[in-house]
Structure 1
Amino acid sequence: MPKIIVTEEQWIQKGIERFEQGGIEQLVIEKMAISLGCSKSSFYWYFSNRSSYIRQIVETWKEQTTQQVIASSIVHATADERIRDVLTRMFGTTKRGDFLFYLRKLSLKDDTYHSILDEVEQMRIEFMQQLFIQKGMQPEKAYRTSWMLYHYYLGWYERHKQETFNDETVQQHVHMIWTEWISI
């Protein structure tokens, strides 16, 4: 039987998938190795221990979910287009697991993750604040609007995370948010 080579990236992506389904309790190396079709010794080829693995999972998730959204919105020319794109991504993506929920839970036990969580949330709020400033909002109002929108999103996602929305429903929701909070 040929030996299956599993990359570090595959281990990390599997870890992200499992973490968002149940937190660190789902990161059982033996079970993940079976799922990846390899031996658990390949895990130790890339990671010195489970703690370093968890840290890498969180860092990769941070990069993928925050930095990529910010980078992808740059393709739009105007602040309005960028804001609408970010809102569409926020409210158009459900059924993706609860990574943020489990990270928040982990952060209660480990200050390292509390710092990462704070950094991610502050980065997201400040990014939206800058878009609102580009749109013409005063900085203080832009920050308050960003803060309120982010916290609204957290509750909205918790309420709707098991649902699937079509494009028309997402756009209606984005329009409602635009009309109530963003129009200046």
Structure 2
Amino acid sequence: MRMPKIIVTEEQWVQQGIERFEQGGAEQLVIEKMAVSLGCSKSSFYWYFSSRDSFIQQIVETWRELTTQQVIADSNVHATADERIVKVLTRMFGTTQRGDFLFYLRKLSLKDDAYRVVLNEVEQLRMEFMQQLLIQKGMQPERAFQKSWMLYHYYLGWYERHKQEKLGNEEIRRHVEMICNEWILI
């Protein structure tokens, strides 16, 4: 009796790629191991991707869409600037134990200028979004830029320090409240 052929979608490959990349970077993207994990043949990979490099590009683009554009879209509801700031900060500081995608992207960007461009675009977009929220609160553009720049770089260090911890909702709420009271003055 023949085993049924397992069909794996491009999205499944990309999702597994994101998960593996955030756990160890491009070195974790071993096609044979991924195929075994997905329960399919290695040829399934080449149905969707012409090369490992094109796969990495797709992983980074999907990650960019999921982590940056989705946060911005989620916060653009009919809410005040203060409410939107709290929502963005809660999402930023409430997500730990997810791996180090940004760290490994930064590492990859040292070897490939195309990834440096993507990294810079993502970080710029994130800081500009917070800057616009602060301007909506009435802050002067230059001051809003400084605050958003400082906040983003604070977040990078904070995440590095807390990435292995499981944080409770109350702890996250207190942290966001402290940021708002001390830096943003909501």
Same fold (TM over 0.5): yes
Q: CA deviation at 1:77?
A: 1.1
Could you tell me which residue of structure 2 aligns to residue 72 of structure 1? 74
Q: Which secondary structure state, in structure 1, belongs to the residue aligned with residue 136 of structure 2?
A: helix
Q: Deviations over 1:114-165 (max 9, x none)?
A: 0000000000000000000011110000000000000000000000000011
TM-score, with normalisation over the residues of structure 1? 0.99
**1:67-89 alpha-carbon deviations (Å, 9 max, x no partner):** 00000011241000000000000
Counterpart selection for 1:37 from 26, 36, 39: 39
Match of 1:17 in 2: 19
- The count of corresponding residues between Structure 1 and Structure 2 is 184
Whether 1:111 and 2:113 are equivalent positions in the alignment is yes
TM-score (norm 2): 0.98
Task: Output aligned runs, 1:34-183, within 5 Å.
Answer: 34-183=36-185
Distance, in Å, in 2 between the alignment partners of 1:25 and 1:101 is 13
Distance 2:12 2:78 in 1: 31
TM-fit CA distance, 1:30: 0.2
> 2 CA distance for matches of 1:144 and 1:5?
49
**Structure 1 unaligned blocks of 5 or more:** none
Aligned-partner Cα distance in 2 for 1:148–1:167? 24
Q: What amino acid does structure 2 have at the position aligned with 1:161? A: K
- C-alpha root-mean-square deviation of aligned residues, in Å? 0.7
Identity score, percent: 79
Name the CA distance, whole Å, in 2 between partners of 1:124 and 1:74: 14
Q: 1:83 to 1:20 in 2, by over 3 A?
A: same
2:6 is paired with a residue whose SS is: coil
Secondary structure of 2:84 counterpart: helix
Rounded to whole Å, the distance in 1 between the matches of 2:95 and 2:157 is: 14
Extract structure 1 runs of 4+ deviating beyond 6 A. none
Name the SS for the 2:96 alignment partner.
Answer: coil
Task: Find the aligned partners of 1:165 and 1:136 in 2 and give their Cα distance.
Answer: 32
1:93 CA drift (Å): 0.4
Structure 2 residue ranges without an equivalent (≥5): none
Deviations 1:42-64 (A, max 9, x none): 00000000000000000000000
